[in-house]
Amino acid sequence: MSEDKKDLFKDYVPEVVEFDENIDGSDEHKHREDHLNTKEDLLKEITKAKEERRFNKKSYR
């Protein structure tokens, strides 16, 4: 990195940015969380149903 670029960022101090619904005006993160929770619940139900169906098969020798 050249000396000019090093001087440019020498006083830089990162700041923590927090989500503020009034400023950002979006609640998409809430919808995404709801969708992910619903997906997780449905996957559990499907997996359970598949296991039950697999164990209920009759086996003939």
Dihedral sign, Cα of residue 30, residue 33, residue 35, residue 41:
negative
pLDDT at res. 11:
85
Cα 55 to chain centroid distance, Å, stands at 33
pLDDT at res. 45:
96
pLDDT digits (tens, 9 = 90+) for 8-20: 888 888 888 887 7
Task: Kindly report the pTM of this predicted structure.
Answer: 0.46
Alpha-carbon dihedral 28, 31, 36, 41, rounded to 10 degrees: 180
Mean pLDDT value across the chain: 81
What mean pLDDT do residues 8-36 have? Answer: 80
DSSP 7-55: HHTTT---------HHHH---HHHHHHHHHHHHHHHHHHHHHHHHHHHH
Q: How confident is the model at residue 32 (pLDDT cuts 50, 70, 90)?
A: confident
What mean pLDDT do residues 16-40 have? Answer: 81
